């Protein structure tokens, strides 16, 4: 990027970087697109960027070369990257040690054919997933896994409300279903509701109807939901009204803005727990990859683009895909 806006995206030739001590050169095969990338390209998510800048946070590729002292990976091995550079195994890092995220605002991103990573910021790619599917785990898959499993401690038989049908939403649905939960998904699109039903989601609800919270409660037999994957944010009044006593809302998305409206009387009445999810750590990413392999579950990818068509991929992401949008790098 030479500046903000999709019209500022350019393909340029640069020398292939060389790995130093404990560094790994990766030939990137696929990069998945997140709503975060759209915001970064348009306005830096409100932060200043040093141009030229490379966006993107999620890649899958193959180790091309290793520097001195590398022990975690080997040449020829397929890998994916972590989202944070230093959040590896601790449950919840202090802000001073959490590190930086790939693709902005401090670190450049992964829309490059060759990249150098510290070996600590890579894990083996799932054996059962191709490069396109593997590239979707770093942000969307890990966010859903952290919200429901690492932080949420989802139990079989619990009820999960998922707001939307994008990448994080469908990962959450697949993870919840795979752990024996009852899933209720809301969407404004009849087509997406039908496609979610075909994935095995037990209840799909029209988000455009003003009484959609009543439909959620009816789907749970009046119990309410134990977990909410909240992708819109904004006013939480309706979402809180669907919650079971002691239920939990994982705040993930900002589609309705960067500020929440939380009616405290309703929050008190529900004994609600509201938690912001900042993707997740390397340990959780490895657990997700292993779980997908063990259960032979494939992420939902709606479309794939060539690198030269990155502006079109970002437009597709902005429109709201059913699942993930991926860019093939080769």
Mean pLDDT, contiguous 10-residue spans, the chain (330 residues): 93 96 98 94 88 95 98 98 90 65 91 97 98 98 97 97 96 98 97 97 96 97 97 86 96 74 90 93 97 97 97 95 96
The span from the first CA to the last CA of the chain, in angstroms, equals 20
Question: Listing from the earlier edge strand, what are the strands of the sheet with 159-163?
Answer: 203-206, 182-187, 159-163, 225-230, 243-251, 273-276
- Pairing state between β 324-328 and 301-306: parallel
Residue 140's pLDDT is what? 97
Tell me the CB-side half-sphere exposure of residue 214, using CA atoms within 13 A: 4
Strand ranges for 50-180 from DSSP E: 58-66, 78-81, 114-118, 122-124, 159-163
Residue 172's pLDDT is what? 98
Report all structural domains of the chain as residue ranges with CATH numbers, in order of start. Answer: 6-141+280-328 (3.90.180.10), 152-276 (3.40.50.720)
Rounded to two decimals, the pTM is: 0.94
Count the neighbouring beta carbons within 10 Å of the beta carbon of residue 270.
Answer: 18
Residue 86's pLDDT is what? 82
79, β-bridge pairs: 61, 124
b/e for 288-317, b at 16 or more Cβ within 10 A? bbebbeeeebebbbbbebebeebeebbebb
């Amino acid at each position: 990027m030479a500046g903000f806006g999709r019209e500022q995206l350019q393909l340029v030739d640069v020398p292939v970087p060389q790995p130093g001590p404990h560094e790994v050169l990766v030939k990137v095969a696929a990069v998945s697109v997140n709503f975060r990338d759209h915001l970064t390209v348009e306005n830096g998510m409100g932060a200043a960027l040093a141009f030229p800048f490379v966006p993107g946070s999620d890649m899958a590729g193959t180790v091309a070369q290793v520097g001195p002292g590398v022990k975690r990976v080997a040449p020829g091995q397929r890998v994916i990257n972590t989202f944070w550079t230093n959040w590896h195994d601790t449950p919840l890092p202090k802000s001073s040690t959490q590190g930086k995220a790939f693709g902005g605002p401090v670190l450049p991103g992964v829309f490059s054919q060759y990249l150098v990573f510290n070996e600590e910021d890579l894990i083996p790619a799932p054996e059962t997933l191709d490069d396109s599917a593997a590239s979707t785990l770093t942000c969307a898959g890990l966010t859903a896994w952290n919200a429901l499993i690492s932080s949420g401690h989802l139990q079989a038989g619990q009820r999960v409300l998922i707001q939307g049908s994008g990448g994080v939403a469908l990962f959450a649905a697949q993870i919840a279903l795979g752990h024996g939960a009852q899933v209720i998904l809301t969407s404004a699109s009849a087509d997406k509701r039908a496609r979610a039903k075909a994935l095995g989601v037990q209840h799909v609800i029209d988000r455009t109807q003003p009484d959609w919270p009543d439909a959620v409660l009816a789907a749970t037999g009046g119990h309410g939901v134990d977990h909410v994957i909240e992708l819109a944010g904004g006013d939480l009044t309706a979402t809180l009204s669907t919650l079971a006593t002691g239920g939990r809302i994982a705040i993930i998305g900002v589609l309705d803005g960067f500020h929440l409206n939380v009616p405290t009387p309703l929050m008190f009445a529900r004994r609600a727990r509201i938690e912001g999810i900042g993707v997740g750590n390397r340990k959780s990413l490895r657990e997700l990859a292993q779980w997908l392999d063990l259960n032979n579950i494939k992420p939902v990818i709606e479309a794939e683009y060539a690198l030269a068509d990155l502006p079109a991929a970002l437009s597709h992401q902005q429109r709201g895909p059913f699942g993930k949008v991926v860019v093939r790098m080769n």
